[in-house]
Amino acid sequence: MTLKILIIDDDPDFREAMATLLEARGYDVETASNGTEGMDKAARIMPALILLDVMMSGKTEGFEVARKLNSEETLKDIPVIMTTGIRKDMNLPFGFEPDEKTLPVKAVLEKPVKPETLLSAVEEYIAKR
């Protein structure tokens, strides 16, 4: 059985690049361009893992989606890896750390994400599932 990965990101180039990378590794990839579409697809396809952007239609949309995913009984066990350029974009002197209530994700990867870093994180959290 091929494992599904859902990419939720408003950047079509990022979605395409990540989908190509993951498909080359044998994953079945679905994409969504915003949080609402992502939540709908997650509920429908029940992916093995979700890659989630922070800044989409709003600067914090990804944070809100992560909390919604975590609050849904059927979706809360799906590992989420957050990908973000918010630190660089907003010139923040700090990064974000996963935490069960505020940021319920497995990892936070800074964009641009190196392919080997992304693949390593994906494989780590899919294996733990």
User: pTM (2 decimals)?
Assistant: 0.89
| Domain total in the chain | 1
What are the tokens at 99? 């935490």
Which H/E stretch holds residue 29? strand 28-32
Full residue range of the structural domain in which residue 9 is found: 4-127
Q: Which residue has the higher pLDDT, 129 or 76?
A: 76
pLDDT tens-digit profile of 76-113? 999 999 998 755 544 443 455 556 766 789 998 988 89
pLDDT tens-digit profile of 32-67? 999 999 999 999 999 999 999 988 887 778 989 999
Q: How many CB atoms lie within 10 A of CB 74?
A: 10
What are the tokens at 118? 């992304």
pLDDT for 90 equals 45
pLDDT for 12 equals 96
Q: Which of 7, 52, 54 is nearest to 27 (CA)?
A: 7
- Residue 63, C-beta contacts closer than 8 angstroms, at least 6 positions apart: 54, 103
pLDDT tens-digit profile of 4-32? 999 999 999 999 999 999 999 999 999 99
DSSP state, residue 33: S
pLDDT for 119 equals 96
Domain CATH number, residue 57: 3.40.50.2300
